[in-house]
Structures are given as structure tokens and as C-alpha cells.
Structure 1
């Protein structure tokens, strides 16, 4: 399912126009993004938790040349599904 299909489904389920559903989805993604940037967790009970984790610096290897590379440390977004979601899948 892509973003357009998700908007269409949200609009149908919540009896909204597609424009309103798109605004709701954009607001949700913006809010989650801002919370993660601040280092907060976003927990939706029964659905899951969005969080940020730190990935340590490490050494990698270029598969074409075999040359070793230094990969910088960075923050990555994580999603851990909740119990309800896991059971439904």
C-alpha cells in the first residue's frame, strides 16, 4: 500500500475528503518526525512504538574493490510492533 492508497482508505473509513485525510496523514508523520528528532518515543498502544536508536561507527568493506571504509555513527528510526498488531498479522 502506498501513500495515495492509504489516504483513500483513511478517507473512506473516517468519512473524510481525500484532501482532509491527506492533511491528517501529513500531520501525523510530521508530529512523529518532530518527536523523534527531539529524542522522544511515540507509543500507540496496541499498534507499536516509534523510537530513535544510535548506530555506532563501524568498519565496512566496498564489495567491488574490497577496500575497507569507515562508516560514521548515526541515529536511526526504529519501529517495534505492539502485541495486538503482532497477533493480528
Structure 2
């Protein structure tokens, strides 16, 4: 799902909202989440998961195209951990999991 599909879904589920209002709501939520992460706060959506930031120290890496060694600076990266409820929901339907991986477990 992309952002525009999320906005359309919110507008469809709440017909009293205009599409522009649904867009403002989604934008406000995402902006507040981004600001919280920039402050170093954790964002938890019960039943969905938690977003946080993790520090990655500097390291040496390799350019996959040229195979040349490069230096990767330290940085903060976003991290998402799905809730236990979401993990159970994702794994509840065995048929969907088989079609997603491209193979069946009966082999």
C-alpha cells in the first residue's frame, strides 16, 4: 500500500470526510511520527508495531558495482518491529504465506 492508497482507504471508510481532509489527517499523523523519531522517541501503534531509531556506527563497506572498498559514515536509521498481534495475523493464513514465498510446504 502506498500513501495515496491509504488516503483513499481512509476517505472510503469515513464517507463524511472529503478526500482533502483524509489527506491532511494522514499527513498530520505521519509528520508527527517523523518528528517523534527525530527527537529520539519511540512510536508505538498498539496491535500494529513500534517504530524507533537505531544508531549504526561507521564502518567500511564495498561498492557492489565496482567491488571497491568505501567508507560508510555513522548514522541513525529507522527500525520497525511488528507487534505480536500483527505477527499472528500475518501467519494465521497458511495459503497466503505459500503463495508469497513462491513454493509450497508440501514439497
Q: Does the TM-score normalized on the shorter chain lie above 0.5? A: yes
Question: Which sections of structure 1, spanning at least 5 residues, go unmatched?
Answer: none
Larger RCO, structures 1/2 (Cα 8 Å, 6+ apart) = 1
In terms of mean alpha carbon deviation, does 11-20 or 34-43 score higher? 11-20
Give the direction of change, closer, same or farther, for the CA distance of 1:64–1:79 in structure 2 (3 Å limit): closer
- Please identify which structure carries the higher strand content: 1
Larger radius of gyration: 2
- Over the aligned positions, Cα root-mean-square deviation in angstroms equals 1.2
* 1:5 correspondence with 2:16: no
CA shift digits 1:24-54 (9 cap, x unpaired): 1000110000000000001111111010001
Deviation at 1:14, TM superposition (A): 2.3
1:62 is matched with which residue?
A: 63
Task: Note the 1:1-89 alignment, pairs <5 A.
Answer: 1-15=1-15, 16-89=17-90
Question: Which sections of structure 2, spanning at least 5 residues, go unmatched?
Answer: 91-107
